[in-house]
Amino acid sequence: MITIIYRLIVALALVLVAVELFTQKSAKLKINAALVLVPLVLRALMIA
């Protein structure tokens, strides 16, 4: 049960960061969002 809640929280954060990635104009902020996205994807897939 806790794992499902954890995955839902990570998935929500993943979606919010992805939206931010595609709506940003600044290249610096896009790179920053992409760097944040990598660990979130790994956590959502329970790899790391």
The whole-number pLDDT of residue 2 equals 93
Phi, psi of 24 (to 5 degrees): -75, 145
pLDDT tens digits, 1-48: 999 999 999 999 999 999 999 999 999 999 999 999 999 999 989 886
The whole-number pLDDT of residue 47 equals 87
For the entire predicted model, the pTM comes to 0.81
DSSP assigned state of 48: -
Domain ranges, ordered by start, for the chain:
2-44
